[in-house]
Amino acid sequence: MAINVLIVDDSGVMRAMILKSLHMSGLPLGDVHQAANGQEGLDALNQHWTDLVIVDINMPVMNGEEMIDRMRQSNETKDIPIVVISTEGSKTRLEKLKQKGAAFIHKPFSPETIRDTIRNVMKLGGDDEGTN
């Protein structure tokens, strides 16, 4: 199973780092699309089949939390697994994200953390590991 991923972060450098980590993780990647804020992310979800959304929280135009709320309100996107990658350190805010069904990775992160979190959130076993 190839995983089609949408990466949403206002930093091009951070999107590149996440993409590099995904390639290093050994996960079977399909198409990877990118967006610079929550609104662009929702637009991308309307255009591309997506199996996993990786999203930052603090972004201009529409932040990650609002994007997640909009996704959960739509029948088409409400079940897509979400991983939040952010600098957020507040337990209060992290608890709110968990209640929305999102997994959380704290910046700075390692490729192993991304791999393990995605495996967990997508319920992948070791057999799904890719060769790239």
Partner 1 sequence: MKEQIKDTLYSVAEEVLEKLAFIFSFPEDERDQIDFDSAVAARVSFIGPFKGTLVMIVSTQALPELTGNMLGLENNEETTTEQQYDAVKELINVICGNLLPSIAGKETVFNVDPPEIVKYTDDVLKPFSAENGKPAEPASVARLDLDEGECDLFLFVDGQLPESAD
Binding footprint of partner 1 on the chain (CB under 8 A) = 10-14, 16-17, 20, 58, 60, 86-93, 107-110
- Strand, helix or coil for residue 85: strand
Q: Which is nearer to partner 1, 34 or 77 (CB)?
A: 34
Closest alpha carbon to 11 in 85, 112, 89? 85
Closest alpha carbon to 4 in 22, 25, 24? 22
Q: Which amino acid is at 18?
A: I
Residue that is written with structure tokens 């949408």 in the block: 6
Q: Which is nearer to partner 1, 10 or 40 (CB)?
A: 10
Q: Which is nearer to partner 1, 58 or 74 (CB)?
A: 58
Least CB distance from residue 13 to partner 1, whole Å?
A: 5
Least CB distance from residue 112 to partner 1, whole Å?
A: 12
Least CB distance from residue 123 to partner 1, whole Å?
A: 28
Q: Which is nearer to partner 1, 40 or 88 (CB)?
A: 88
The structure tokens listed for 11 are: 């930093």
DSSP-derived pairing of the beta strands 29-35 and 52-55? unpaired
Least CB distance from residue 86 to partner 1, whole Å?
A: 7
